Each structure stands twice: as structure tokens, then as C-alpha cells.
């Protein structure tokens, strides 16, 4: 069964496809957003609010979220569950 990561405003991303969860502030991330927009692989899940977190998937899609990066990371960690032996 697919594990879905809530990225705010009733939007979800398949947690199995997530490669990276990063802050939106650094310049390289801003360039990545622009490249994804040109490649038509940008998904805006902010509902018009300030972008705080960028989620990168294994399909090279870039998802924008208005949630704090720490919040998204905590939600992702909850989905992972306890470490496997």
C-alpha cells in the first residue's frame, strides 16, 4: 500500500517516491525550481502561500509546499516507522 506524505492543504505525495526534502531558500534550489518549471515538472502545492519547502521525487518532479521543512521532515519520519533490523 502506498504511504502518502501530507504536504499541506489536503495535498499528498507518495513517500516512496521522495528523494529529498529541502528548504526553499538556497540559490541552487531556486534554480532547480526554475528548471523544473521549464521542464513542466513543477507541482505547486502552496495554495498561493510562501514556499518554504521543496520536495524532490525520483521522477524529477519538484513539489513546492508552504509548510516548514521541519514539519514535513517530521511527517516523513513518522511514515518511515521504527528502524528495521
Of 70, 62, 61, 64, nearest to 49 by C-alpha is 64
* 43, 61 contact by CB (below 8 A): yes
d(CA 8, CA 10): 6
**Phi first, then psi: what are they for 79, rounded to 5°?**
-70, -30
Looking at residue 72, its pLDDT comes to 97
Specify the pTM.
Answer: 0.91
Task: With a cut of 80, say whether residue 82 has pLDDT above it.
Answer: no
Please write the tens of the pLDDT for every residue from 11-69: 999 999 999 999 999 999 999 999 999 999 999 999 999 999 999 999 999 999 999 99
Amino acid at each position: 500500500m502506498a504511504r502518502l506524505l501530507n504536504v499541506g492543504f489536503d495535498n499528498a505525495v507518495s513517500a516512496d517516491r521522495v528523494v529529498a526534502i529541502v528548504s526553499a531558500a538556497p540559490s541552487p534550489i531556486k534554480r532547480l525550481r526554475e528548471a523544473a518549471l521549464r521542464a513542466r515538472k513543477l507541482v505547486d502545492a502552496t495554495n498561493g502561500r510562501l514556499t518554504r519547502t521543496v520536495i524532490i521525487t525520483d521522477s524529477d518532479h519538484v513539489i513546492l509546499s508552504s509548510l516548514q521543512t521541519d514539519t514535513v521532515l517530521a511527517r516523513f519520519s513518522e511514515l518511515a516507522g521504527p528502524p528495521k533490523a
